[in-house]
Amino acid sequence: MHTKFYSDSQHRQTDHALQSRAADKVGLPAGTLIHIGAKHQSECKISAIQYSVETLIYHEISSISDLQSLQNNELITWVNLDGLSNIDIVERIGHQLNIHPLVLEDILSTHQSPKLEEYENFLYLVIKGISLDQNKIFSLQYEQISILLLANYVITFKEKSDTTFDPVYHYLQNRSGRLRLKGSDYLAYVILDTIVDEYFVVEDSLDDVIDSLEDNILLNSNKEILQTIQQIRRSLISMKRNISPLRELLAAIQHIDTPLLQEKTLRYFGDVYDHVLRVNDSLESYRERISAMHDIYLSSISNKMNETIKILTIFATIFIPLTFIAGIYGMNFEYMPELKWRWAYPALWVIFILVSIGLLRAYSEIQRSDTRCQVRIPV
Residue 45 — pLDDT band, cuts 50, 70, 90?
A: confident
Residue 15 is predicted with a pLDDT of 38
Alpha-carbon gap, residue 186 to 78, rounded angstroms: 12
Residue 247 is predicted with a pLDDT of 92
Residue 29 — pLDDT band, cuts 50, 70, 90?
A: low
Q: What is the mean pLDDT of residues 59-81?
A: 82
Alpha-carbon gap, residue 205 to 210, rounded angstroms: 9
Q: What are the residue ranges spanned by the domains of the chain?
A: 2-204+218-298, 305-373
Distances (CA, A) of 30 to 101, 297, 358: 9, 49, 85
The listed range with the strongest mean pLDDT (41-45, 132-136, 190-194, 290-294) is 190-194
Q: Which CATH superfamily is domain 2-204+218-298 in?
A: CorA soluble domain-like (3.30.460.20)
Residue 372 is predicted with a pLDDT of 64
Q: What is the mean pLDDT of residues 156-173?
A: 92
Residue 171 is predicted with a pLDDT of 93
Residue 14 — pLDDT band, cuts 50, 70, 90?
A: very low
**How big is the chain by its Cα radius of gyration, in Å?**
35
Alpha-carbon gap, residue 239 to 128, rounded angstroms: 9
Put residue 116 in one of left, alpha, beta given phi > 0 → left and psi -120 to 50 → alpha.
Answer: beta
Question: Within the chain, how many helices (H) and strands (E) appear?
Answer: 10, 10
Do 171 and 179 meet the contact criterion of CB atoms below 8 Å apart? yes
Q: What is the mean pLDDT of residues 224-239?
A: 88
Tell how strand 2-4 and strand 37-38 pair up.
unpaired
Residue 328 clears pLDDT 90, i.e. is over it: no
Alpha-carbon gap, residue 374 to 126, rounded angstroms: 59
Residue with the bigger pLDDT between 78 and 4: it is 78
Q: How many residues does the chain have?
A: 379
Do 72 and 97 meet the contact criterion of CB atoms below 8 Å apart? no
Residue 17 — pLDDT band, cuts 50, 70, 90?
A: very low
User: What is the distance of C-alpha 220 from the center of its chain?
Assistant: 25
Distances (CA, A) of 223 to 158, 205, 227, 235, 301: 38, 22, 6, 18, 10
Residue 1 — pLDDT band, cuts 50, 70, 90?
A: very low
Residue 25 — pLDDT band, cuts 50, 70, 90?
A: low
318-322 contacts at long range (C-beta below 8 A, 24 or more positions apart):
318/355, 318/356, 318/359, 318/360, 321/355, 321/359, 322/352, 322/355, 322/356
Residue 166 is predicted with a pLDDT of 93
Residue 373 is predicted with a pLDDT of 61
Q: What is the mean pLDDT of residues 359-364?
A: 82
Residue with the bigger pLDDT between 26 and 162: it is 162
Q: What is the mean pLDDT of residues 294-313?
A: 82
Tell how strand 56-59 and strand 19-20 pair up.
unpaired
Q: What is the mean pLDDT of residues 331-358?
A: 80
Alpha-carbon gap, residue 274 to 195, rounded angstroms: 14
Residue 251 is predicted with a pLDDT of 93
Distance from the first to the final alpha carbon of the chain:
65
Beta bridge partners, 153, equal 77, 150
Residue with the bigger pLDDT between 309 and 250: it is 250
Q: What is the mean pLDDT of residues 66-94?
A: 85
State the alpha helices, DSSP H only, in 25-125: 66-69, 87-96, 101-108
Instruction: For 206-215, write each residue's pLDDT tens digit.
Output: 898 888 888 8
Residue 167 is predicted with a pLDDT of 94
Q: What is the mean pLDDT of residues 301-318?
A: 82
Alpha-carbon gap, residue 79 to 62, rounded angstroms: 13
Give which of 191, 127, 202 is closest to 165, Cα–Cα. Answer: 191
Alpha-carbon gap, residue 59 to 207, rounded angstroms: 41
Residue 9 is predicted with a pLDDT of 36
Mean pLDDT of the chain: 82
Do 146 and 124 meet the contact criterion of CB atoms below 8 Å apart? yes
Alpha-carbon gap, residue 36 to 49, rounded angstroms: 28
* CATH number for the domain running over 305-373: 1.20.58
